[in-house]
Chain A
Amino acid sequence: MSTPVLNITKGINALKEQIDAPTAAFFSSCVHCGLCAEACLFYTETNEPKYTPINKVEPLRRVWESEYTLLGKVKKILGLSKPVTDELLAEWEPLIYDGCTLCGRCSMVCPVGNDISGMIRKVREGMVASDHAPEGLIGASTRAVKIGSPMGIRLKALQAQIKHIEKDTGLTIPIDVEGADYMALLSSMEIINFPEYIESLAKIFKQANLSWTLSSEAFEATNSGIQIGSSDIARELIQRVVDGAEKLKVKYVISPECGHAFTAIRWDGPNLIGKTYPFKVVHILELLDELQQSGRLKTSGVEDKKLTFHDPCQIVRKGGVEAQPRRLLNQVATDFVEMSDAGKMNWCCGGGGGVSANERADEIRLKAFNRKKSQLEEVDVEVLVTACANCRLILEEGLEENNMDIPVVGLSELISEHLVEDGEKI
């Protein structure tokens, strides 16, 4: 049986484990200038100071101060330090999970260079360890571990979708092909809400003439462990992908149009399992761009509707895939306009970092969407393109809520619609 006393000890220990030299440098440098608030859509759209990013990491700061600084240790002995209590963590839980999408914008703005969102991710480790994570994310993580998907999607559901697509299009969607060059991952949302993505993959690989496969054991790209902040869960989910890829002996694993999945598999994964992969990870946009640059992907026709691109935070700001979507879009669109703050300074849709899986955050998430709304009003486009299934769903919901009639399209899907084969469109 776990008790609050045990849990808080576990939580503090988990926070202690998170503190490294960068964290200490960050806390030492903060001068409380407040600029990070201006970078955070949860502050700008609510005007509530508690959403100031640096305030969200207070539990971690207290642990750092009392355990890793001389003055803090003295204060602790004298009983002057502020302890991390169960009540504190309970109070901070909504700030950490409902009021932060780990979008990383604060980390770009901080004048002393603090990676604040990286520290918020660290606080989540302490939250999970002390039993302070929201129900929605606990449910998603449990389903991810037990069923293999945060949305509870099983292989059967994927197979049914594949059958549909194959029947409708005459394309083949290979599963478990050993020795294929590429292994594609999918997000549950793509399987259920946007199967067009799977169809797009088939078209793209066919035209580029590349061997690819899905894995029946490792098709899910999303990683609830990353979102809830549990390295243990994240590690288990990453290991499945690594095992799947090793079993099929693929050279590349393709991260789908899903933001946090890219962070999980591309950047965090090797560190979670403590070794480098025997394969390379590429984002689908990186692959598309590379194929197009090398002439293996030919498109014809252009969209003449005015359109803009919503940068998924984890792919662009935190993933470094910024130029690729722009080159790709310019290939198939004549009237591509940028939103203000586009690229690595773009504003989050409001649903990243597990916020969309946390029903408790629905209200504040829709409020935070007002930032995207005003960005969109400025450019007044007919089509909104993005490259993350979660962003897409959140954008669709936000637009509907605000009676804005703008269709949201996935970039890979848009490119695949313009592919030509032997002078003919597929």
Chain B
Amino acid sequence: MEMFSNANDFLIWVRGDAFNIALFILIIGIFIRVMEIFLLGRKKDFSEPRGTEWGPGLKNIVSRSVVDSGTFKRAPFIVIVGYIWHICFFIVLLFFVPHIELINAMLGLQWPGLPSQLVDAATVIAIVSLIAMLWHRLTHPVLKFLSTYEDYLVWFVTFLPLLTGYIAFHRMIDPYPLALGLHIFSVELLMVVFPFTKLMHAITLFIARWYTGAMMGRKGIES
């Protein structure tokens, strides 16, 4: 790399300027996307409500995480692997001690981490489940039909931080600053792509679930 005379320079850059740029794009991007949604508003509903909106909306945010048994029987793979992926991903993201230290340095918040062997195992499971989901996307007729380049881009930028994190943790690239730098850089890539792709679901699903739960609550349908 011409830009950097050595791996240390690269690490300093990804930890400094690059991270700030990525964080800026992430925050501004999310803000714009969320405003784009809320500014559209909702028309006033004149029908006589049978129930309330707020409670059922909040309830739906939680209850939508559980699929009905009929659908589970029809599509067990996506449900099970979907759960495994999300759980392992959050274990890795939020309970790896160095991640907590970074969050603490930035926000002043901290909580106990998990043993790194456990996080390592979660990383492997997350990687395997992502590969399984990619295989599923490439072979299942419905997913193959629905998928666009964006689905694969999103898969790729999600996969990279896990792979590079695993590589860095196991010192599989020398020198270590390069391995760590690549990991942080891949996370920055994810941060930049996040607001402009369906990765946004991590935030907007709360809005979507609330709206649908509220609509159901209004009609007296249990969510």
Q: Which residues of A contact B (CB under 8 A)?
A: 19-26, 28-35, 37-39, 43-44, 47, 49-50, 52, 54-55, 68-71, 107-115, 118, 266-271, 273-277, 280-281, 317-320, 322, 340-341, 344-345
- Taking a contact as CB atoms under 8 Å apart, the answer to whether B142 and A22 are in contact is no
Known contacts A28-B33, A49-B145, A267-B47; A345/B209 CB under 8 A: no
* Neighbour of A24 across the interface among B37, B50, B196, CB < 8 A: B37
Complex CA–CA separation, A340 to B39 (angstroms): 42
User: Please, which residues of chain A bring their CB within 8 A of the CB of B74?
Assistant: 38, 44
Closest B residue to A267 by beta carbon equals: B47
B67 on the interface (CB 8 Å rule)?
yes
Contact A54 B146 (CB under 8 A): yes
Given the known A-B contacts A34-B140, A52-B142, are A25 and B46 also in contact in the complex, defined by CB atoms under 8 Å? no
CB distance from A37 to the nearest CB of B (A): 5
Contacts of B151 in A (CB 8 A): 31-32
Residue of A nearest to B29 (CB): A70
Contacts of B220 on A, CB cut-off 8 Å? 320
B142 with A34: CB separation less than 8 A: yes
Contacting pair A25 B37 (CB below 8 A): yes
| Interface flag for B2 (CB, 8 Å) | no
A268 to B215: give the CA distance in the assembly, Å.
12
In the complex, the answer to whether B37 meets A271 with C-beta atoms within 8 Å is no
Which residues of B25-81 have CB atoms within 8 Å of chain A's CB atoms? 32-33, 36-43, 45-48, 50-51, 60-61, 64-65, 67-68, 70-71, 74-75, 78-79
Q: A37 vs B141: C-alpha distance in the bound complex, in angstroms?
A: 11
Interface stretch, picked from B171-179, B184-192, B200-208, is: B200-208
B221 in the interface (beta carbon within 8 A)? yes
- How far, in angstroms, from A33 to B205 measured CA to CA in the complex? 13
- Contact assessment for A37 and B36 in the assembled complex, using a CB-CB cutoff below 8 Å: no
Chain B residue at minimal CB-CB distance from A43: B142
B222 at the interface (CB under 8 A from A): yes
Q: A21-B38, A24-B40, A31-B201 are in contact. Are A275 and B60 (CB under 8 A)?
A: no
Query: A26–B144 Cα gap in the complex (Å)?
Result: 21
Known: A34-B75, A54-B146. A112 touches B221 (CB 8 A): no
Whether A319 lies near B219 (C-beta < 8 A) is yes
How far is it, in angstroms, between the C-alpha of A106 and the C-alpha of B51 when the chains are bound? 22
Given contacts A19-B40, A108-B68, A115-B215, contact A35 B78 (CB under 8 A): yes
Judge whether B211 and A115 touch: CB under 8 Å.
yes
Contact A29 B40 (CB under 8 A): no
A107 and B68 CA atoms in complex are apart in Å by 12
> Closest residue to A319 on the B side, CB-wise?
B219
11 contacts between A and B (CB under 8 A): A21-B39, A21-B40, A26-B211, A28-B204, A29-B204, A31-B201, A52-B146, A69-B36, A112-B64, A113-B211, A270-B45
A317 CB contacts on chain B under 8 angstroms: 221
Of B41, B50, B141, B222, which contacts A47 at CB under 8 A? B141
Decide if B65 touches A275 in the complex (CB within 8 Å). Answer: no
Least CB distance, B29 to chain A, in whole angstroms: 9
Q: How far is the CB of B140 from chain A (nearest CB, A)?
A: 7
Contact partner of A21 (CB less than 8 A), chosen from B42, B143, B148, is B42
Contact of A109 among B37, B71, B140 (CB under 8 A): B71
Contact: A34 with B208, CB < 8 Å? no
Alpha-carbon separation in the docked complex, A54 to B198 (Å): 14
Q: Let me know if A115 and B222 touch, CB within 8 A.
A: no
Instruction: Report whether B147 and A20 are in contact in the complex, using a CB–CB cutoff of 8 Å.
Output: no
Bound-state Cα–Cα, A268 to B51, Å: 16
Who on chain A is nearest to B207 by CB? A25
Contact of B71 among A20, A23, A39, A118 (CB under 8 A): A39
| Interface assignment of B212: CB less than 8 Å from any CB of chain A | yes
Question: Considering only CB atoms, which chain B residue lies closest to A22 in the complex?
Answer: B211
Is A318 within 8 A of B211, CB to CB? Answer: no
> Is B82 engaged at the interface, CB distance under 8 Å to the other chain?
yes
Given A55-B145, A277-B48, 10 new contacts (CB under 8 A): A28-B33, A28-B201, A29-B208, A34-B146, A35-B79, A70-B32, A107-B212, A110-B212, A270-B48, A344-B221
Residues of B near A275 (CB, < 8 A) are 46
The answer to whether the Cβ of B181 comes within 8 Å of any Cβ in the partner chain is no
Flag if B145 contacts A109 (CB, 8 Å): no
Q: Across the interface, name the chain A residue whose C-beta is closest to B65.
A: A111
B213 at the interface (CB under 8 A from A): yes
- CB of B82, distance to nearest CB on chain A (Å): 7
Q: Is the CB of A35 within 8 A of B67?
A: yes
